[in-house]
Structure formats: C-alpha cells, structure tokens
Structure 1
Amino acid sequence: MNKFYPRAGENKLSISHPEIAAVRPKFFAAALLNFVLYILLFFCLFCYLYGSLFQQIPRTHNVHILWIDYDGGIIGDAVRTAYSSLQSNQFPALIEKAVSQFPTPGDLREAICRSHYWAALYTSPGASVNLAQAIAGSNTSVYNTSDVLTFIWNEAKYPTSMDGIISTNLHTLSDAARISYIALNGTSAFLTIPPNNSAAISVFTNPWTLTAINIKPTIQGTRAVYNTISFVLVLIEDFFFLATLNGLYVQFKIFLKISPGRIIIVRDFISLTFTMVSALVNSAAIWAFKANWNVTGGQWALTWLTLWLYAHANFLIFDTFTIWIPLQFVSMALVTWIVVNITSIVFPFSVMSPFYRWGYALPTHAAYEILTDIWSGGCNPHLSYALPVLFAYEVVGLILTSIGAYKRCHNAVIVDETTKEAMRLQVEAALKAERRRSSLAGQESHEKRARRTHTGESSHTTEDAGTLDQSNDATEDEEDLEELEDVDTRIERMRSRASALSNIGPAFRLIGSDD
C-alpha cells in the first residue's frame, strides 16, 4: 500500500514511545466501554423486537370474532360444534351475541368499522330451511351456496398477519362446520335426496361456501412494507436531512451570526418544506404502485397530510435528540427510536404481550392507525387518540427545538470567545517565550564582554560566577517551563470546553459546498 500512499508511515511513533504508552490505557478503556454499551444496546433491541413476536400463536385467542346466528337452525349448531372442537389459544375467539343486539349485517359491519371486533361471522336468515329444501330437490336451481355463512372483515388492518389469523382460520371453521353438519343431519338429509338428482347430491356434498365481505381488499404486493420499511425510510430520511442541515449551520456559522428568533423561523420553515415534499413523493410512490387497490384521490391527499405530520414530528424529535443528548449517545438514541417505533406496528397488539401496548404512545403507531382509517374509508376510528398523540409530539418538539436554538446560539458565542481567548493566550505565551530568549541572549552577550574586560580577576572568582549564572539560568528555565505548561493546560481545557459546546449533533457537509 506504500506505493499508493507513500507518506502513510511518516512521523509515526513506536509502540513503546512514552506518548503512546500514556494514551494506551485510555484508548482501550474507552474502546471497551463503547464495545460493551453497543453490545448491550443491540442485545436489548433484539430482545425487544423478538419479544414482540414471541408466543404470538398462543395469543391468537385474543383476536375476537363476533358470531351471530340469524338462521337459528342446524347450520348454526354445526358452527358451534365445529368451534368447540377448534377452540384453543391458537384459534380466534368466537364471541356469540344475540340477534337483538345486531339485528342486521349492516350492524355487524359497523361493529367491525368501530374496531370492536376483528371480524364478524353470521348465518343468513332461513339458511337451514333453504339448504334442506335444496337437498330435497325442491329449490336446487335457486339455492345459493354463497348465501349461507358469511364473514365481514377489514383487510387493510395489518393485511399480512390478518390474512392468516382471520381469513384462514374462518375457512378452517367453515370446513369443520360442514363436517359437523353431516354428522348432525347427514343421515336424515341424505334420505330426502330424490333419486338421480345430481344437483341435490351436489348441494348435500357441498352445502355452502364461506363468503367474505372485505371492507377494504388489500392484496397488492406493496402492502407488505406499509407497516415496516416504509416507516423506517421516513425516519432515516429525516435523520440524514437533519445532519445535512446541521452541517449547513456549522459551515456558515449561523448560530453565531443570526438571532435565535430568526433561526427558529427559518429552521422550522426548512423542515416543514422538506417534510412536506418528502411526504408528497412518498405518498405518490404508494399510489404509483397500488396496483388494483381501490383508493381515491381524496384518500391520497389525506395520506400525504398524515405522512407530512408524522415526518415533521419525527424531524423535531431527532433535532431534540441532537440538542439535549450528548453526541456520543445520539446514534444509540436513533436506532432505539427506530426499533421501538417499528415494533409498535409490525403486528397488532392483540397477539403481542400486553407490555408492548405502551406503543400506543409512539408516533409511528398513531400514524399507522390514522392511515388505516383513511385507506379503509373510516373503518378504524382511532383518531380520538392517534391525532392527539401526533400533535403532542409536534407541539413538544417545536417547544424544545425553539429552546434549543437559544441554547445553540448561547454556546456558539461562548465557543467563539473561548477560541479567541485560547488563541490570545497561545500568542502571548509564544511572544513571552521569544522575549525571554532574546533577553537571555542579550544578557549572556553582556556578561561575556564584562568578563573579557575584567581579565585580571582570579580564575576562582570567574568559576564561581559562572556556576552562579548557570544556577540562575536553570531556575529561570524551570519557571518558564512551568509557566508554559500552565498556559498549555489552560488552553487545552478551553479547547475541550469549546469542543463540547460546539457539538450540535451529526453534521454533514452539503453537496456542492466545497468552496
């Protein structure tokens, strides 16, 4: 490598050099401390993430499905029998209610829209009678196998996980109910089948097909990242733009030159504009790849506004991190914030440990609840807490970053004064040392001339004088050295203080700003 970087080895100290030996313990102590901190941090984050996924299947019974038997016949009995055989912690809980509480399927849809249940299963009125007549061959031409057992659900809510928990399990229940129906009524029903009536036989072997009423079908491939990578990218985008903005303020010494009030206004304007445009293109990307997802332009506009509020709230949160958290811990705060926020929306809280429900207070969960409500046409009315959560982060973030602008301006003035004072002390020390050297040189020259003039004096007297002069010079040199060391210590302390106060978080140089 010396061929490419020939000066890489110049002026390097040996491993046994006193200067290296002095810093070696501090270096390895700091390296070990950071080693331990990062290992522990990421171990805790992995445990937090994996804990949200741990034992989800045994918590499936926390997903409640409303069950109404509008038929009141043998089909409802078959469903109850099938559920009793499937009922377990690994199967959604079927909650049966009286018909009087939900008189029509429209009431069931309303219950799903209000998020009282994850889904609703019901039998159609007169389904058992119609099935018996079809098996007997009296109405096989008009019998509809899809108008027997139906469930209502909203696929827009956690589509990748709800497909398996709700749709798959309810189809399993429907299949088990058909078997139960044969067991309960098979013999008597079979005896009513007219000879050579293939339609009646077909109805007997396949009495119904489970029908799904999906409030918002969400089957496009991009749905898999709506509650994962999409939000991660928004958070990363905010953080890196903040670092770039900080670099701009450092490069042009904005905090030293501009008043705090003006900085607050301009900085908020820049962040609002950036997050507005980023949310615009992010929502446009969702719509560009929505495939056959049936969403409207009005829903796109609301999606854009929600992502804008979410992005700006997180920008303020990250700015607050860089203001009030020491620089060495900002990266830890960033990765922790991303992991806990994304964990709050990967799966519904119903199948997670109750501990994770503190995630209701996180902005990412609030934003996803709002987006689900928008995408499903109002069938997720959690705006009463989701919007206040987002606005709370926005308001608190604006307050803390505004105070932070005053703090940064205050620190910038102190840093500038400290830097100038350190430079002044360094120059004075250098001038004083130079004057001392000039004075000693002049004094030595004068003494030599004096000794040459008094050549008649004894050699013993001359030796004593020379010894005394050397002693005085040594004392003066020691005093000068101590004074220089004291000045160097003061300068180093001032520089350390200035370095600590000048840290405003991660800061990148702007592209095209290398003047």
Structure 2
Amino acid sequence: MSDRSSLSSSSSVEEETHSFENAPPIQLEADTTTDQQRRRGSLLRRLSTGLSIPSSLDSDQTRTYRVRRQPTNYSFAGISTGVEAEGEAGLHDYYFGTDAIQKSVTRKTTSDAEKLEEFPQKFEGQYASDPGADNTELSSQLPATPIARRRSTVVQKIQSISQRFGFWDKEFHNDRVKMIMAFLSNYIYLVIGFILPLCIYWGSYYERASRYKDLKFLVVLAEEEVAGIPPIISGVVEYFFTNVTAIQALGDFRVMNFTQITTLSQSHNLTIQEEVYRQIHHQKYWTAFYVKENATFNYYSALKSANTTFNPSVSLMQAIYETGSNFNAVNNYIVSIVNNIIQGYLTYLPKTALLGDLLQALDEDEIASVASTAPNLLTSLVTFEIIDLIPVTNQIFTGILSIALIYIVLFTFFQYLFSVSIHTYIATKISGGGYIAFRMLVSQISYLFLALAFVVLNTAFQISPSKTFGKSGFLVIWAWIYLLMSSLGSFIEALGLIMVIYKPQLIGFVLLFVAVINVAPVVSPIVLCPPFYRYGYAMPVHAAYDLMHVAYFNSWKGRVGLDIGIMIAWMIISNIALPFVMRWMGEKIAKRKEEAAAAAAAAAATEDTAEDLTKIETNTETSVRSTTERVETNSKLDNDSVLASYNPDNRE
C-alpha cells in the first residue's frame, strides 16, 4: 500500500512536470546555463527540494525557465519611475509615457478578464458548512494536493494589477495619499518653475521710470559772445536742462560750455561738431543736445537781414543719437524720452524772453522788414533738429535682436536631443576620454551648422552682412554666432545632465531659465534695470548682441575684443566643466544601479525564504496527511483481520 502511494505520488509529479514542460511559455527565455553557473539555492530550498521533488527533474535533459523582466519598471511606491529604456521607443516611453498610453487606450476587457479581476472567494460548500460530517468520500474524490512551485512573477504582476479598487476604497488609502502628495510636489515644482523666470524677466522692468535719471545725456553749449551779441540761446537751454524739475527726472544731463568742448575737440584733432558726434558714436552718452557755434548770432543776423531761407527750427540746435548703437534701447526708450524733452522745451520756450531780447537789438525798420518779408523767423520756434547717426529702418532686426537670441539659446540644447541615439551607440564602442571628446566634437560641429543657418537666413531676407567688414562680413558673423552657441551649449548640456540625475522634468525649466537670464538684460538697457541685472554685462548673449550691432550697423568697435573674450571664456570654462559633469553623472548612475541591484537581491532573498518556508509547510502537511492515512489504513486492516478471526461459536 505504501509502494502504491509512493508510485501514485511519483506519477503525479511526473504528470505535472510534463504538463509544465509542454506549456507554452509566455515571455520566457531558455536558461541554458550549467548547474555550476546557476545560483545555489538556500539550505531550506535544497532540503525541501530533496524531500519532495524526484531527482529526475534535475536531469540535464530537463530545461528550466526564468522570467525575462520588462525593460521598463513603473513603481508608484516611491513616486518615481525607474527606466532602463532601450532605443528610441524606450526614450519615448520615458519622456511621454507612450507605452502606458498605448496599453490604456487599446486594452479591451472581456468577460473572462472580468472574472480574473474578481477577488477569490472563500470556499463554503456543503462539506465545509458541516464540520462534523465524514469527508472521507470527498477526500477520495478530490485530486491530490499539487506540489508547491514558484509562481511566475509575470502572473503575479498581472493578477496584482488586475484587482480593481475604487479610488475612495479603504484598501486604496495609502496609494491615494501618495498620489495626492505627488501632485502637490509637482505643483510646487511647476509654480517655482513658472514664477522664477517671470520674476527675473519682469523684475528688469520694476520701477523703471524711477531710473530714467540714470541715463546719461550731454548738453553742449558751443557758442560765446560775438559782436556784442550774448549767447542768449545757450542761456535758455542751460536753464531748461538744469532747473526744470520734470526734465531732471528724465536723465542725467552733463553740460559742456564752449571752453570745455573746444578743449576736448582739440585733443582729438576734431571740430566741435565732430567731437559731439564722436561722443555719441563711442557710446559715452545716449543723446547729445547740441547748441551750434554762434547760434544766437546767426539767428540775429537772419532777423536783421530778413533771410527767408533761414529756418530757426533746424539751423541752430541738434539732438543726436544712434539707433544702431543699441537697437532695442533706443527704439523703446531713448526716442520717446528725447521726444518728451523736446516737447517740454517747446512748452517752456514761449515763457522765455529769447525772441524779445533779439528784437531789442533791431531797429523799427528791421523789425517791420522781418514781419513783412520773413514772418517765419518770428513764428518758428527755436528747437532741436533730430539727427540719427546710424538709422535702422529695416524692422526685421526687431526679431534678429530679440526672439532670435532666445532661439539660439534653445537650439544649443536641441542639437543634443537629436544626437542622443548616436551618442548612445558610440558609448557602446568608445569609452572614457574618447567618448567625451567625440561627444564634444559633435556638439561643436552642430553649432557650426546652426550658426551658418542663422547667417544664411538673415542674408535671404536681404540683410547685408558686408556693411562693416565687406565681403568677410559673412564669415565674421558666422564665427560670432558660433562662439555664442558654443559658450552656451556646453553650459546648458552640463545643467541638463545634472537635472537628469535629480529631476529630469526640470530640463525644460533649465532651458527657459538660461534664456531669460541672458535675454532680460538685452531687451532693455541695463542702466534702467535694478542693480542685480549688472550681471548681464558678463553674459554671452549680451556680448553677441553688441557684436551684431557692429557687424550689421557698423557701430563702435571699442568693445569687440571684450565681447569676444567673454564668449571665449564661457566656452572654455563650460567645455572644461562638461567632462567632469559627465564623470560625476556616470558615478551617480553606477551607484544607483548598485543600490538597485542590492535591493533586488535582498527582495529576492526574502522571496526565496518565504517560498522555502511555504514548501516546508506544504511538505510537512503532505507528510502528516500521508502518515495519517497510512495509520488509518493499517488500523482498519488490523480491525478487519481481528473481526475476521473472531468466531463466536469457538467460545470456551
């Protein structure tokens, strides 16, 4: 009887093993490693295996299988996603969740799937409800208890995620709290990422009107007394700029008299007018209000001779600036401030005795002659003629010197995104310094092509690059734009790698932040911004902004060397720092992989221990049941033999 039970048990094991080997594997791969290469099981596993599994299952002809884990592992427990992406599809899944979207929108729930999603119910049959009933017949009809085997992790995963909970169910409480905390964390990052760049950009406009007084203007009074005629016009202009309160709030006005401007012009071997123009071209002042030499005497002479061709509105004074020296600042601020000053002067002039003092120097016949012959000399106001030394009429420069600068910042990182697959492949072929050098070289070549595209695009819109440097202008602008991209590209890439380690979602904020801190001091003159924005003088975009004025408008070249030096310094420092950032990133990732592997090993050990204990309990239970059955069977046989040998007729 014992042999028959053992044979039945062995047959059952072989049938189950046969069915397991013939079952179609789902996401399984053959394990062709030798016994020596396999990880040795724990002591409990080996003991339980030796007790319950025949040695025939361990033969070389028997092939075991292991689950191949998916490359993407979504874990909500830590509110993070661990990804080991492979190829372009892996990147798409990592950045945009394409795999989860595809599964969600294409999954169809069938009736069988709905049954699998239900929780297993406790058995409550007729035999279970009657604890005192004799279940011997039922036990003989039920199949033998199967040998416990390790369940596929794929099946466990499917069953674990197939159990549906309502959002407000008690069992979902912990996950619900984690989700809420994750959303709150996301909102904090989003709000900070939204506010910080706007604060920097809007902060450059904070109380701007109160800083108009920091704009430097030059007032040149280049006349002196001639033939007994005092410089009346210079006196009126000087009083206007030094004593009218409303005008004082619009700028810082430095007044130069005839002696001062003459000395300065002679030091440069220039005329007074040329010296005034030089001061503006060299960007010493935003605007010069220039009273020409002998202005009062020339006006007196025109009145005395009743000169009909003389126009006091354009012949005596000038307001001089250069749009090409700072396109954004002059168009947005200087022009309007100058117009306000001139308008204020025209309002102030009728209240003065300028014309009356000049008429006192004429006799009645001369006054009558002027009134009848040249009345415009009496009706026209003595005001400033506006002179733009470098006018810019093509409004395309509005985009080139503002939006294009932002695009240049962004595309320095976009070139890296387009090269990720190449870098990933090369990383498998080259290691160490060779890979870093290759990656940096690819970036520099990309910057050359992008800079070339920028210059070609401008030329296509009929913006000549040859105004300052002739035929070489194209190459000069190309080189300067390349320096700008190279100075920013490696810096942004280094910041991006750091963000990948700590929080990849912040890469977009890094791009926006770098763009804003570079552009904020460019769209507005730094002198009108709070003191914090003085950093703009050392930023690559501000340097390139100045160089574009030199190349396209032939503005002052005095800062060309400084601007190029700023961009080269950024390029050298960022490119030197990039390899160290790459090395630091590699060490961080390697450390994280080691920690993940250690955690996985610990989890596997815990799972193996639990399985070993389960197997021991199952084997013990089976052995106890088998022993009990044998004892009961033997006891019944003994009773039958006793009853069979008992004969009431043979009593003594």
Give the TM-score of the pair, scaled to structure 2. 0.60
Compute the displacement of 1:81 (Å).
3.3
Q: Report if aligned partners of 1:256, 1:409 keep a CA contact under 8 Å in 2.
A: no
Q: Report if aligned partners of 1:79, 1:177 keep a CA contact under 8 Å in 2.
A: no
1:3-59, Cα deviation, whole Å (9 max, x unpaired) = x94637784532245663222212211221331343244334433333321222232
2:494 paired residue number: 320
**1:337 to 1:188, Cα distance in 2 relative to 1, 3 A:** same
1:442-493, Cα deviation, whole Å (9 max, x unpaired) = 777776665555446669xxxxxxxxxxxxxxxxxxxxxxxxxxxxxxxxxx
1:359-408, Cα deviation, whole Å (9 max, x unpaired) = 32332223223333434424163345433332222112101211233334
Q: Report if aligned partners of 1:345, 1:365 keep a CA contact under 8 Å in 2.
A: yes
1:119 paired residue number: 287
1:7 paired residue number: 107
1:137 paired residue number: 305
Q: 1:406 aligns with which of 568, 583, 586?
A: 583
Q: 1:42 aligns with which of 194, 205, 208?
A: 194
- Residue type of the alignment partner of 1:154: E
- Residue type of the alignment partner of 1:337: V
1:233-288, Cα deviation, whole Å (9 max, x unpaired) = 222222333333345545x4x44542132222221222112222222222333344
**1:38 to 1:198, Cα distance in 2 relative to 1, 3 A:** farther
Q: How does 1:265-414 map to 2 (within 5 A)?
A: 265-289=437-461, 295-296=467-468, 297-325=471-499, 326-327=502-503, 328-379=505-556, 381-383=558-560, 385-410=562-587
Q: 1:91 aligned to 2:250?
A: yes
Task: Single out whichever of 313-322 and 400-409 deviates more from structure 2.
Answer: 400-409
Give the TM-score of the pair, scaled to structure 1. 0.74
Q: Report if aligned partners of 1:115, 1:381 keep a CA contact under 8 Å in 2.
A: no
SS in 1 for 2:487: helix
Residues in 2 aligned to 1:146 and 1:162: alpha-carbon distance in whole angstroms: 23
**1:353 to 1:447, Cα distance in 2 relative to 1, 3 A:** closer
**1:216 to 1:301, Cα distance in 2 relative to 1, 3 A:** farther
Compute the displacement of 1:137 (Å).
2.2
Q: Report if aligned partners of 1:345, 1:368 keep a CA contact under 8 Å in 2.
A: yes
- Residue type of the alignment partner of 2:323: E
**1:123 to 1:243, Cα distance in 2 relative to 1, 3 A:** same
- Residue type of the alignment partner of 2:523: V
Q: 2:339 aligns with which of 162, 168, 177?
A: 168
1:421-458, Cα deviation, whole Å (9 max, x unpaired) = 88888889889988988888777777666555544666
**1:176 to 1:284, Cα distance in 2 relative to 1, 3 A:** farther
SS in 2 for 1:195: helix
Task: Single out whichever of 441-450 and 405-414 deviates more from structure 2.
Answer: 441-450
1:490 paired residue number: none
Residues in 1 aligned to 2:248 and 2:401: alpha-carbon distance in whole angstroms: 26
1:102 paired residue number: 264
Residues in 2 aligned to 1:265 and 1:271: alpha-carbon distance in whole angstroms: 10
Q: Report if aligned partners of 2:466, 2:473 keep a CA contact under 8 Å in 1.
A: no
Compute the displacement of 1:342 (Å).
1.7
**1:392 to 1:224, Cα distance in 2 relative to 1, 3 A:** same
Q: 1:26 aligned to 2:200?
A: no
Residues in 2 aligned to 1:256 and 1:270: alpha-carbon distance in whole angstroms: 16
Q: Report if aligned partners of 1:299, 1:374 keep a CA contact under 8 Å in 2.
A: yes
1:104-140, Cα deviation, whole Å (9 max, x unpaired) = 2222232223322112222222222221111222654
Q: 1:58 aligned to 2:210?
A: yes
Residues in 1 aligned to 2:300 and 2:309: alpha-carbon distance in whole angstroms: 13
SS in 2 for 1:120: strand
Compute the displacement of 1:60 (Å).
1.5
Q: Report if aligned partners of 1:137, 1:193 keep a CA contact under 8 Å in 2.
A: no
| Identity within the alignment, % | 18
1:484 paired residue number: none
**1:37 to 1:155, Cα distance in 2 relative to 1, 3 A:** same
Structure 1 vs Structure 2 CA RMSD: 3.8
Residues in 2 aligned to 1:323 and 1:449: alpha-carbon distance in whole angstroms: 64
Q: Report if aligned partners of 1:65, 1:118 keep a CA contact under 8 Å in 2.
A: yes
Compute the displacement of 1:193 (Å).
3.4
Residues in 2 aligned to 1:222 and 1:337: alpha-carbon distance in whole angstroms: 24
Q: 1:75 aligned to 2:238?
A: no
Q: Which has the higher contact order (CA 8 A, sep 6+)?
A: 1
**1:86 to 1:185, Cα distance in 2 relative to 1, 3 A:** farther
Compute the displacement of 1:200 (Å).
2.6
- Residue type of the alignment partner of 1:310: L
- Residue type of the alignment partner of 2:410: I
- Residue type of the alignment partner of 1:382: R
Residues in 1 aligned to 2:368 and 2:518: alpha-carbon distance in whole angstroms: 63
Q: Report if aligned partners of 2:359, 2:367 keep a CA contact under 8 Å in 1.
A: no
Q: 2:388 aligns with which of 187, 190, 214?
A: 214
**1:272 to 1:458, Cα distance in 2 relative to 1, 3 A:** same
1:471 paired residue number: none
Residues in 2 aligned to 1:8 and 1:131: alpha-carbon distance in whole angstroms: 94
**1:5 to 1:412, Cα distance in 2 relative to 1, 3 A:** closer
Residues in 2 aligned to 1:255 and 1:88: alpha-carbon distance in whole angstroms: 65
SS in 2 for 1:381: coil
Task: Single out whichever of 259-268 and 410-419 deviates more from structure 2.
Answer: 410-419
- Residue type of the alignment partner of 1:386: D
Compute the displacement of 1:181 (Å).
6.3
Residues in 2 aligned to 1:258 and 1:435: alpha-carbon distance in whole angstroms: 45
Compute the displacement of 1:415 (Å).
6.7
Q: Report if aligned partners of 1:160, 1:224 keep a CA contact under 8 Å in 2.
A: no
**1:116 to 1:37, Cα distance in 2 relative to 1, 3 A:** same
- Residue type of the alignment partner of 1:117: Y
Q: Report if aligned partners of 2:312, 2:377 keep a CA contact under 8 Å in 1.
A: no
Residues in 1 aligned to 2:340 and 2:400: alpha-carbon distance in whole angstroms: 24
Compute the displacement of 1:216 (Å).
1.8
Structure 1 alignment gaps of length 5 or more: 460-515
SS in 2 for 1:15: coil
**1:455 to 1:99, Cα distance in 2 relative to 1, 3 A:** closer
SS in 1 for 2:210: helix
1:199-242, Cα deviation, whole Å (9 max, x unpaired) = 53223322656334423212322233344322222222223333
SS in 2 for 1:211: strand
Q: 2:360 aligns with which of 171, 179, 188?
A: 188
- Residue type of the alignment partner of 2:179: F
Task: Single out whichever of 234-243 and 408-417 deviates more from structure 2.
Answer: 408-417
**1:152 to 1:290, Cα distance in 2 relative to 1, 3 A:** farther
Compute the displacement of 1:87 (Å).
4.6
Q: Report if aligned partners of 1:61, 1:90 keep a CA contact under 8 Å in 2.
A: yes
